[in-house]
Structure 1
Amino acid sequence: MPDFEEMYYTLMRASEEALRIMIEAQKECEEMYVSNDENE
């Protein structure tokens, strides 16, 4: 029988990591946008 608990935690860890990566990318883009405005 599959270990559903381990499957769940594996999926949740990957989801958390994906969300962290997306938040970091958004912050980087916001910083790029703000710094571009300052240069003009």
Structure 2
Amino acid sequence: MDYRKMYFQLAAKVADAMDILSKAQEEGEVAFMNGEPFPELKVIATQEENRDSE
């Protein structure tokens, strides 16, 4: 078996998969920024604990 060829084929398929996932993430981010997918969602400010003072 030609392991070098198999390795490069695998690396190419992994790169393709990463490109597909990256594009899907970008499309999801754009869709989120352009719309209001959760109009009932409200942001609530909370006070963070200061752990250094303990």
TM over 0.5: yes
**Rg: which structure is higher?**
2
Q: SS of the residue aligned with 2:32?
A: helix
Q: Which position in structure 2 is the counterpart of 1:13?
A: 12
- Off by >4 Å, runs of 4+ in structure 1: none
> What letter corresponds to residue 8 of structure 2 in structure 1?
Y
Q: SS of the residue aligned with 2:12?
A: helix
Matched, 1:36 2:46: no
Shift of 1:21: 0.4
Q: Which position in structure 1 is the counterpart of 2:46?
A: none
Where do 5+ consecutive residues of structure 1 fail to align?
none
Give percent identity, aligned residues only. Answer: 27
**C-alpha RMSD of the superposition:** 1.2
Between the two proteins, the alignment pairs up a number of residues equal to 37
Q: Judging by fraction of residues, say which structure has more helix.
A: 1
Where do 5+ consecutive residues of structure 2 fail to align?
40-54
